[in-house]
Amino acid sequence: MLSEEEYYTALQKLHNIPSHLHGNNRQNYKQTLKKQIQEYEYNLKYGNFEPLPYIPYFVNNITTEQTLHQLIQASSSSSEFTLDTESINVYKKKNQPALIQIQVLLPYNLSLVMIVEMCHLPHHHTTRSKDELFPFIIFNLFSREQLQSITTINLQHQFKLFWNQHHPHHHHISTSSNILEDHCICETCIGKKPSEPWSLQDSTAYLLDEYLPKILTRAQFNIGLDPNLFNLDSEEKQYRQQLTKYALNGCLSMQRILIHMKNTKFEFSFEKIIKIPYDLMESVSSSDDEIMFSQLTPSIKRLTNDQNLNINKQEQFISTSTSENSNWKITSTNNSRSANQRHTQSTSEREHRYTHETQPVDEHKPEHKPQQLSMEERKRIHNRSCTLKQRKRLYRQEIVCENT
């Protein structure tokens, strides 16, 4: 957290960005300063975030079988969950999965919150293999097919709709005078662009009037948060308690926001879902704090835009992506062999497509119109393609050592 002197220094730097910074470097420098300034201002303006009653559990290699059975039993009695993930940054590589936080919503606003420590699970042999959960497949907690059976709703987008519905632009005229007082909190008046998504911190501040710290976004969540994993001194325990609180608050803040949205009778609508090939999927959104709302279904279905979901009546699965400015992509091993395999596969697909197009069209067969992709889906595929090209260029030669 900035001091008062550092806060004013950051403001001065924001309005006087060095001229030698250009492109992404300039944008990243500006974004970092804005984040620091926002943390300071939110801390002064709002009270600290207060979660509803909950019971935390760590899931790692020392978790007993009895505890796991109790958690499974408690989870089977609920139909609503929130989910969050934390990862650590790796230089010039995709982020490494570290935590999965699963909150089981119980009656009377109670909940259980499990922190699954991916780097401290029992060892197993595995090979690298929709959602931010795909990188976690390697830990054998779930399969790719199970993830693909979830029909998702972008809750971050839903919150934007919710805010615009309940906070349209208006002017407030004071009754004590004829002076026009503008107390509007619509997106335009609070400085949020129409295309700008809502972060979890902003949602908590404006909706709940509370401050949700995000200072530890880039912390090392793989060090083992359970105090029973290692012998720790008081300073190490205190730091892990801070990381644990940060990880828990991702789910707990989303729970309170959902309760508020439910109380206003807001209807969460399905978005049209098109099944994208796994190798073209983006595992984690590049936006900050993307919030996903999912309903468990037997298989992926294409749903119409006007199909609504009453979240009080159907099973729900909520996930939040709190990875800040993440850009994970699903890739195979980045060596020359895998690159050649992708090139060969791409060449074969082009040859097959050319052969298919040159064949005469059977008049008796109905025409199949190509599936139209939305702007977001085309952008996702484009980002995926750019990432593959970048990794092919950066990691032509990579030595992977595994214990045999």
pLDDT in tens, 36-59: 999 999 999 999 999 999 999 999
- Whether the pLDDT of residue 398 is over 70: the answer is no
| CB-based burial, 58-67: b 16+ in 10 Å, e otherwise | bbbeebeeee
Output the pLDDT for position 212.
Answer: 96
Q: Which residue has the higher pLDDT, 240 or 78?
A: 240
Rounded Cα distance between 301 and 315, Å, is 16
Measured in whole angstroms, how far is the alpha carbon of residue 262 from the centre of its chain?
A: 21
- Whether the pLDDT of residue 19 is over 70: the answer is yes
For the entire predicted model, the pTM comes to 0.65
pLDDT band at 122 (very low <50, low <70, confident <90, very high): confident
pLDDT band at 14 (very low <50, low <70, confident <90, very high): very high
- Whether the pLDDT of residue 386 is over 70: the answer is yes
Output the pLDDT for position 316.
Answer: 46
Give the DSSP letter string of 190-242: TT--TTPPPPHHHHHHHHH-EE---TTTTS-TTS---TTSS---HHHHHHHHH
Structure-token pair, residue 375: 């702007």
- Whether the pLDDT of residue 115 is over 60: the answer is yes
Q: Which residue has the higher pLDDT, 10 or 276?
A: 10
- Whether the pLDDT of residue 89 is over 80: the answer is yes
Beta strand 180-181 pairing with 81-88: unpaired
Output the pLDDT for position 65.
Answer: 87
pLDDT band at 337 (very low <50, low <70, confident <90, very high): very low
How many CB atoms are closer than 10 A to CB 112?
19
- Whether the pLDDT of residue 167 is over 60: the answer is yes
- Whether the pLDDT of residue 358 is over 70: the answer is no
pLDDT band at 76 (very low <50, low <70, confident <90, very high): confident
Output the pLDDT for position 38.
Answer: 95
pLDDT band at 279 (very low <50, low <70, confident <90, very high): very low
Number of H helices, E strands in the chain: 9, 13
**What is the C-alpha end-to-end distance of the chain, expressed in Å?**
45
Average pLDDT, the chain: 74
Rounded Cα distance between 345 and 342, Å, is 5
Q: What is the 3-state secondary structure (H, E, C) of 229-265?
A: CCCCCHHHHHHHHHHHHHHHHHHHHHHHHHHHHHHCC
pLDDT band at 284 (very low <50, low <70, confident <90, very high): very low
Q: What is the pLDDT of residues 293-321, one digit of tens each?
A: 444 433 333 333 444 444 444 444 444 44
pLDDT band at 376 (very low <50, low <70, confident <90, very high): confident
How many CB atoms are closer than 10 A to CB 29?
15
pLDDT band at 395 (very low <50, low <70, confident <90, very high): low
Output the pLDDT for position 357.
Answer: 47
Q: Which residue has the higher pLDDT, 342 or 133?
A: 133
The pLDDT > 90 percentage for the chain reads: 42
